[in-house]
């Protein structure tokens, strides 16, 4: 997938293959256009179905929503709790006449319906914040909280989940996804997970119904995934420059072979 960026009088013009997006200026766009996460782009190209929808949980400033749109997703539902990031995506939606293609939800996905606090405030204005690593003494923004199950009422070909450690709150609900042929691109942040033992048990449970795929779309043994989660390395080879953060693909075993092909 080819991504380029050029300056524009009203922001930045991004080209993702044959799709163009006029977006607000942001420090991330040069990185996006410089080979950002090719494994993510490859997974999207392989599994986005133009006849079906896409769910983006943790949309940030919109890069994966743009990938999905460029791959031809019928419709994108984008969930982003951070008000600053949400405003950025909202401007992109208006700039590019995507009112009928994107549904934006300013909320977080967690273990219960209600309200949550994200923060601290300086983190919100800087880039992103998660509910489970927030320091309540520094103040934050109150937002609506949904359960993952509340969002699974559409026909999605792919669900992306990147919620900065809060994945431990929703992983049990992911078993519901495995009942359909929806695939998942799942970001894992072990340093932010509060109870690794419980999270590992949940990983074992979902490995019963999902094939776990690595960043080259090859089957990963659950023992390997658990070892990565439990690792104490600050910057392991499979992680990012920021630490032990990585993605895996999840393919429902009922509908996919271990090779990644549909049955």
The per-residue pLDDT for 132 is 45
* Residue 257 placed within a domain: no
**258 occurs within a structural domain:** no
pTM of the full structure: 0.94
Residue 262 falls inside a structural domain:
no
Residues of the chain scoring pLDDT < 50 = 129, 131-134
Domain with residue 120: its CATH number is 3.40.50.150
pLDDT of residue 137: 55
Question: Which runs of consecutive H residues, i.e. helices, occur in the chain?
Answer: 29-32, 38-47, 63-70, 83-95, 121-126, 167-170, 196-206, 222-230
Q: How many domains does the chain have?
A: 1
Q: What is the pLDDT of residue 116?
A: 80
Q: Which domain holds residue 109?
A: 3-252
The reported pLDDT for the residue numbered 147 is: 94
**Would you state the pLDDT for residue 15?**
98
Q: Exposure string (b/e) for 201-234, b if CB count within 10 Å is 16 or more?
A: ebbeebbebbbbbbbeeeebeeeebbebbeeeee
Closest CA to 227 of 219, 238, 216, 218: 238
Residue 19 lies in a domain: yes
The pLDDT, as a whole number, for residue 120 is: 65
Residue 172 lies in a domain: yes
Q: What's the pLDDT score for residue 133?
A: 44
C-alpha angle 150-186-58 in degrees, rounded to nearest 5: 55
* Residue 22: exposure state from Cβ atoms within 10 A (0-12, 13-18, ≥19): middle
Write down the residue that tokens 């009422």 correspond to: 153
pLDDT at 117: 78
Q: Please indicate, yes or no, if residue 186 is contained in any of the structural domains.
A: yes
Cα gap 54→151, rounded to integer Å: 11
Render pLDDT for 187-209 as a digit per residue (tens, 0 to 9): 999 999 989 999 999 999 999 99
């Amino acid at each position: 997938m080819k991504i380029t960026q050029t300056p524009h009088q009203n922001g930045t013009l991004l080209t993702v293959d044959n799709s163009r997006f006029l977006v607000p200026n942001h420090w991330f766009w040069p990185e996006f256009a410089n080979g950002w996460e090719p494994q993510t782009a490859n997974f999207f190209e392989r599994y986005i179905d133009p006849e079906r929808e896409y769910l983006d949980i943790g949309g940030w400033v919109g890069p994966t929503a743009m990938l999905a749109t460029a791959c031809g997703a019928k419709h994108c539902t984008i969930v982003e709790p951070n008000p600053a990031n949400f405003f950025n995506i909202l401007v992109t939606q208006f700039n590019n006449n995507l009112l009928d293609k994107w549904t934006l939800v300013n909320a977080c996905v967690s273990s219960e319906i209600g309200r949550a606090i994200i923060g601290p405030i300086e983190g919100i204005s800087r880039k992103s914040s998660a509910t489970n690593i927030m320091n309540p003494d520094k103040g934050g923004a109150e937002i609506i909280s949904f359960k993952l199950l509340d969002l699974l009422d559409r026909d999605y070909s792919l669900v992306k989940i990147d919620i900065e450690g809060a994945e431990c709150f929703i992983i049990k609900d992911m078993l519901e996804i495995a009942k359909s042929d929806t695939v998942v691109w799942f970001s894992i942040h072990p340093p932010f997970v509060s109870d690794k033992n419980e999270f590992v048990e949940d990983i074992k449970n979902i490995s019963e119904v999902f094939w776990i795929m690595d960043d080259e779309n090859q089957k990963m043994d659950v023992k390997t995934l658990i070892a990565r989660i439990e690792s104490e390395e600050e910057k392991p080879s499979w992680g990012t420059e920021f630490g032990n953060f990585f993605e895996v693909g999840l393919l429902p075993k009922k509908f996919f072979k271990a090779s990644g092909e549909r049955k």
